[in-house]
Structure 1
Amino acid sequence: MKATILHESNGRLRVRLAQKRMTPEQADLLEAYLQSCTGVAQAAVHERTRCAVIRYQGGRAAVLAAIGRFSYQDPRVAALAPLHSSRMLNRQYQEKLVGKVLVKAACSLFLPSPLQIARICWISFPFLRRGLRCLLRRRMHVELLDALSIGISIARRDFGTAGSVMFLLELGELLEEWTHKKSVDDLARCMALGVDRVWRKDGDTETLVPLGQIGAGDCIAVRMGGVIPIDGTIAEGEVMVNQASLTGESMPVAKRPGTAVYAGTVVEEGECVLRVTQHSGESRYDKIVSMIEQSERLKSAAEGRASRLADRLVPYTLAGSALSFLLTRSVTRALSVLMVDFSCALKLAMPLAVLSAMREASAYHITVKGGKFLEAVAGADTIVFDKTGTLTHACPVVARVIPFGGRSEAEMLRVAACLEEHFPHSMANAVVRAARERRLAHEEMHSQVEYLVAHGISSTVDGEKVIIGSAHFVFEDEKTVIPAGEQAAFDALPPEFSHLYLAIGGELAAVICIADPLRGEAKAAIQALRALGIRRTVMLTGDSERTAAAIAAQVGVDDYRAEVLPEDKAHFVEAERAAGRTVIMLGDGINDSPALSAASVGIAISDGAAIAREIADVTIAADNLFELVALRRIAQGLMLRIHSNYRFVIGFNGMLIVLGAAGALMPAASAMLHNLSTLGISLRSMTNLLSPSFDAVAAGE
């Protein structure tokens, strides 16, 4: 693909593609391709200008070469196309918004007065019909006030005011619908696994097909490093599966034919054929969207209060208008009061504030399922953390190497790395990485390596058999013995770590202790949450008392519970809520799901278990716990904005009613000021709650 460089700065390129027109589908394809390229940190494609903005790391030559290789017809590129994109949604509403404004301007400027009047009368029918329906049902709702305002304006031949009122109402409805659908779409795509195509296996033939075409009973092939995209059972092969996103375990688990595997887990070793047990459509994008759109939880209490308050104020506005007419016998003054209602601002600004806060949260990799949960986050006083994958990284590291038989610690780590470097699963990577960090060269010094999936590695070094693996493999299968006089040292192995056993010549040579590293920002994030009003922090873990105590001391939580089962976590959360506390629960695995459901607000890690993400009310990325700080600040800022909006709407519109009743404002001026204030407060409600300077805080700096 040919392209022209339009602008270039350090680590940033803006290029224009050499094509006359770019469709949204092509833009999605190019964007997905660029983001998959090595060295590209971020890419955004704008189809209207046929431009791509690329932020990269390293040399620009590789990025330019990648652009040059791009082709829409390349099957490998076509496989990157997302099944769902928000680009078409944005374009649809942008065109609606621009079209509505242009039509309004064109009609005001160019249509003759009779045609303008006819147009206003025509578009008033839906508003008048809704108001009449309220009357027939004996309900005094905001729609009745809107209909009276528009109807009386038309009756008085004040068509300009009627047109302005309807335009602002339509504009507000469109903005609210756009913001809401965008939030739902972002949430649904965040909850999806991101696996769009799989290799379907038919006999000896493998075909790359969209995931949506996979049904129960089909077989798909999954290889080392691949994400299991759907629930099923192993039909062929033995694999090691990383289930950290599902169960919180950081160590891979052996899976053999007949055993179940679940969507969202990763094959770390080996390859397998998976027989699907659930149709893909049952838990994919469309189901998620349907669940979100049908959920009443999406509406915050603030939105409900605003809607109810707007309806309750309708009789008072009508009474005020009637009283003004009775006292002054002036239709103008009565209409001036009627022109000012609280509905527009209350029913428009509040949902926009909530949905805009949800959109702003997404910029910090936070997805909120409804405004109700932002309110709960703002008022929370207790936060409960799971440990593995939440306060710690679900990525093993070597904590200690304990040699046996008088051997050298460095030499044992070198031998272990020499064997493990051939098999890049998580624990092997930890051993190799530890040897590299200690500058231990582990050149090839062994014979052919024999690898047994889910067991360990066997080879020969200097004529002696060397094995490394699990306790079952080393002691039960290979009958390894502990050196004489060192049973006490073996019994004293630190229980807070997982153990990898190395044996030479049938004798235990070393135990490599593997740990889950604590997140570097965990302590600072908890301190920041305390500064924002969180009074109690608790850690729950299934690990031993010793491990839990060590992590709790390092991270600085107020309390912890060790060796807890999933149901124990839920019971703890329920007890905290029964004590009158508003509880946030943060977890990432299936074992956290009961507690997430029991909490006032359940927060799941976005690359955690699918069930945890579905049950949770909020999802955050796994990158940084300071996203919790951003969430808390956004939630508190939202509540302050909502209360500020209430005060302004009641105060300003109340002032307009008084001025209208006193004859100081004419109906047109009253309507104009009311509509301008509604537009102004709505635009304010759509602005960001956090300042740009908070980005550094959210990054943990």
Structure 2
Amino acid sequence: MPLLRRPHLDAGHLTSLISEFDGVESVRINAAAASVTIGYDGKAATRQAILDRLSALSPSALAFHNGESEPSVTPLVLRAALFLVLPVLPATLGRVVVWGSIAPRVFRGVWSLLTQGVTVEVLDATAVSLGAARGRYGTALLTDELMATGDYLEETTERHSEDLLSHLLYRHPSSVWVERNGDVVKVPFADLDMGEIVVVGIGELIPVDGLVRNGAAQVNQASVTGESVPVGKEAGDRVIAGSIVENGRIRIEARQVGDETTTARIAAFIHESLTAKSETERVAEEFANQRVLTTLGLGLATFLLTRDITRVMSVLLIDYSCAVKLSAPVAIRSMMSEAADRGVLIKGGPSIEALSKVDTVVFDKTGTLTRGDLAITDIVSLAPQDWSEDRLLAMAASIEEHARHPVAAAIVRVARERGAPHVAHDDIDVEIAHGLRTRVDGEAVLIGSRHFLQDHEGIALSTYEDTAQALSAQGKMLLYIAFGGRAVGIIALRDELRTDSAETVRRLRASGVRRLIMLTGDRKQRAEALAEGLGLDGVFAELQPEDKAEIVKQLGEDGCRTAFVGDGINDAPALATADVGIAMPRGADIARATADIVLLQDSLGLVADAREASRTAMDIIRSNFRAAIGINSGLYVVASTGWLGPVAAATLHNGTTLALLGRACPQAGSRQ
């Protein structure tokens, strides 16, 4: 296939294009051999469709890498073969082929010297040139081979650290199945509009963010959320582009298409992350570049003191820059990949470095420390002789089912679970921000806040003060019910804590976080009860939305390094103000766009996962830095004394660099 010979071809993109065809079961591309192997269902029609599509492919339909082409092992094999036959070659021919072999490295060194000054390339070129100039062609060739092998392995490891994130870079399919005019037709993805009905069956990729209109399916969301277990989806459930239907068939109303889908925004997030360098990475690169001059100076000093060119070669082949410069980005990208597998997207090195230094974590309450879904905790009858709990619940649910707010939803949900009967009532009057009014069996019924019943409607509630205080002290919201002019019941609700909230608090403290603070618009008594139960260090209650960012800003001015965890539209200013903004998965789009870290699974424990992983990554970078300095300094000493020849110096230096890179990228071999 001629297209496969084009430089920088993105084989993964071509694989996804071919995999879309109906009946295709597997795709394997060998770019080096310019061949593609496709497994399909054996049908002649499928085979012909694939051949027709492949023959029609043009370069404009393919994707290409912006960077350099994949490293090739071929030059290493040819150089090794040359080294083996060098002893039997005529002397003149041997000199020519050796100089020809090392010429690319020498030219790179000269070009680097002219354009960038003294760099690692200059040191390497000088070392191999000195060996060849002294007639030690075997040493020069073997040294060049060892350096080339080191370059190949380093480049492969660094590239792999980026490729670890490739499973998140979702690409749009070329076509989708859509219902139009009563028929299901295949249309180009670019022609798909919001609101259209997309049909997805077994083994197919969900191409849009949307709402299931009918059907049922088991959907694998691992590529997006990291969840390994398929999730059941049916009418009313949301689905995410990039998920795969493993069983079943569903009709989906497209809510976001193209670049607006979750996976497309994740891809943009990752692309931005790969270009963002942390201060640690910048310092490491600057230090590495400075050490090149140190190496050159040590080589010159060695020559002036010993006049031994062999020792000079050995010294020049040892430098700090490779391990120091590469270790930081490799560790950062490896950590980003590991976090993504757990369901955490991190916006590059700066966010990892900042999170590792955080000493204060600020939580928004609703939807973060709590689930964001109210649950009924108590149904208290104030007239038990006439009103049982079941009767109170049935009447409240029959009235509240006409309302649209979290309290009403919680009451209706529990009534349905208990099989409560429907209670007939007159038309509902809504008192905005207060409650509901209607009539049942000719009697007036009021459901709402204490303020509504007591201050607006004159219902006596003082008799039940102790009961109300006891419930409120537990952080519960109270809904009062009156029938025929007297109070008959109280329904207590609470936004339940996440099951992992307390454990997350404990883990964050263990990771070095000194202060844990909660912000909420709830009443002070209710907020303090929840904060005390979690063991938080502070709570700010009865806040307006704009107050959150101001509190985070003040903490920063007081010297705290802050992380803010939230999910709402009004959390965006606080997310942007904090040193690190962390958005929950059900958060508003603006919150997710503002955040430095986005959680893909609805688990607060991922905040602790991200914190622990960031500290581990920074610890690895710092320890690798110290190891590179210590080991290479020791090699300098040994090389300058003449106890370490050029070949051994190159071997030990490259071995050290690769060992440190392997430690920085523990997943390097796990996904080959």
**TM-score by structure 2 length?**
0.67
1:600 correspondence with 2:579: yes
2:630 aligned partner, one-letter code: G
Distance of aligned partners of 1:482 and 1:614 in 2 relative to their CA distance in 1, 3 Å threshold: same
Find the residue that maps to 1:394 and give its secondary structure. strand
Find the residue that maps to 2:512 and give its secondary structure. coil
2:161 to 162, 179, 187: 179
Aligned runs of 1:683-694 on 2, under 5 Å?
683-687=662-666
Distance of aligned partners of 1:118 and 1:411 in 2 relative to their CA distance in 1, 3 Å threshold: farther
Mean Cα displacement is larger for which, 381-390 or 409-418? 409-418
Q: What is aligned with 2:330? A: 352
- How many angstroms does 1:299 deviate by? 1.4
2:578 aligned partner, one-letter code: A
Distance of aligned partners of 1:118 and 1:142 in 2 relative to their CA distance in 1, 3 Å threshold: same
- For residues 513-544 of structure 1, the C-alpha deviation after alignment (integer angstroms, 9 at most, x for no partner) is 43210112212321222222211111111222
Find the residue that maps to 1:591 and give its secondary structure. helix
2:626 aligned partner, one-letter code: R
1:525 to 504, 509, 533: 504
Please give the alpha-carbon distance, in whole angstroms, between the structure 1 residues aligned to 2:189 and 2:563: 35
1:100 correspondence with 2:44: no
Aligned runs of 1:626-637 on 2, under 5 Å?
626-637=605-616
1:616 correspondence with 2:595: yes
Please give the alpha-carbon distance, in whole angstroms, between the structure 1 residues aligned to 2:81 and 2:426: 83
Distance of aligned partners of 1:641 and 1:299 in 2 relative to their CA distance in 1, 3 Å threshold: same
Q: Which has the larger radius of gyration?
A: 2
1:670 correspondence with 2:652: no
Please give the alpha-carbon distance, in whole angstroms, between the structure 1 residues aligned to 2:494 and 2:188: 38
Quick check: 2:73–2:152 contact (8 Å CA) kept in 1? Answer: no
> Gaps (5+ residues) in structure 1?
1-21, 31-44, 50-71, 74-88, 231-262, 265-272, 690-701
Aligned residues with identical type, % of pairs: 32
Aligned runs of 1:563-574 on 2, under 5 Å?
563-574=542-553
Q: What is aligned with 1:33? A: none
Distance of aligned partners of 1:573 and 1:446 in 2 relative to their CA distance in 1, 3 Å threshold: closer
Distance of aligned partners of 1:513 and 1:153 in 2 relative to their CA distance in 1, 3 Å threshold: farther
- How many angstroms does 1:209 deviate by? 7.4
- How many angstroms does 1:340 deviate by? 0.6
Distance of aligned partners of 1:317 and 1:107 in 2 relative to their CA distance in 1, 3 Å threshold: closer
- How many angstroms does 1:175 deviate by? 2.5
Q: What is aligned with 2:321? A: 343
Quick check: 2:394–2:422 contact (8 Å CA) kept in 1? Answer: no
**Cα-Cα RMSD:** 5.4
Q: What is aligned with 2:410? A: 430
1:400 to 369, 374, 378: 378
2:143 to 158, 161, 167: 161
- For residues 466-522 of structure 1, the C-alpha deviation after alignment (integer angstroms, 9 at most, x for no partner) is 999888xxx99xxxx969645876996978656667787899865544321011221
2:388 aligned partner, one-letter code: S
1:365 to 343, 351, 363: 343
Please give the alpha-carbon distance, in whole angstroms, between the structure 2 residues aligned to 1:290 and 1:125: 41
- How many angstroms does 1:122 deviate by? 7.2
1:166 aligned partner, one-letter code: A
> Gaps (5+ residues) in structure 2?
1-13, 30-44, 47-61, 199-205, 211-239, 242-251
- How many angstroms does 1:564 deviate by? 2.0
Q: What is aligned with 2:35? A: none
Find the residue that maps to 2:165 and give its secondary structure. helix
Quick check: 1:447–1:459 contact (8 Å CA) kept in 2? Answer: no
Aligned length: 552
2:286 aligned partner, one-letter code: R
Distance of aligned partners of 1:567 and 1:428 in 2 relative to their CA distance in 1, 3 Å threshold: closer
1:412 aligned partner, one-letter code: L
1:412 correspondence with 2:392: yes
Quick check: 2:284–2:325 contact (8 Å CA) kept in 1? Answer: yes
Please give the alpha-carbon distance, in whole angstroms, between the structure 2 residues aligned to 1:197 and 1:424: 36
2:289 to 296, 311, 314: 311
- For residues 390-416 of structure 1, the C-alpha deviation after alignment (integer angstroms, 9 at most, x for no partner) is 110022211333546652223222455
Distance of aligned partners of 1:436 and 1:310 in 2 relative to their CA distance in 1, 3 Å threshold: same
Quick check: 2:272–2:347 contact (8 Å CA) kept in 1? Answer: no
Find the residue that maps to 1:100 and give its secondary structure. coil
2:631 to 652, 660, 671: 652
Find the residue that maps to 1:348 and give its secondary structure. helix
Find the residue that maps to 1:356 and give its secondary structure. helix
- How many angstroms does 1:670 deviate by? 0.6
Mean Cα displacement is larger for which, 498-507 or 163-172? 498-507
- How many angstroms does 1:165 deviate by? 1.0
Please give the alpha-carbon distance, in whole angstroms, between the structure 2 residues aligned to 1:125 and 1:469: 88
Please give the alpha-carbon distance, in whole angstroms, between the structure 2 residues aligned to 1:206 and 1:361: 39
Aligned runs of 1:21-170 on 2, under 5 Å?
100-101=72-73, 104-105=76-77, 108=80, 128-137=106-115, 139-149=117-127, 151-152=129-130, 157=137, 158-170=140-152
Please give the alpha-carbon distance, in whole angstroms, between the structure 2 residues aligned to 1:663 and 1:397: 77
Find the residue that maps to 1:340 and give its secondary structure. coil
Distance of aligned partners of 1:333 and 1:618 in 2 relative to their CA distance in 1, 3 Å threshold: same
Distance of aligned partners of 1:275 and 1:664 in 2 relative to their CA distance in 1, 3 Å threshold: closer
Find the residue that maps to 2:372 and give its secondary structure. coil
- How many angstroms does 1:139 deviate by? 2.7
Please give the alpha-carbon distance, in whole angstroms, between the structure 2 residues aligned to 1:506 and 1:198: 60
Quick check: 2:172–2:189 contact (8 Å CA) kept in 1? Answer: no
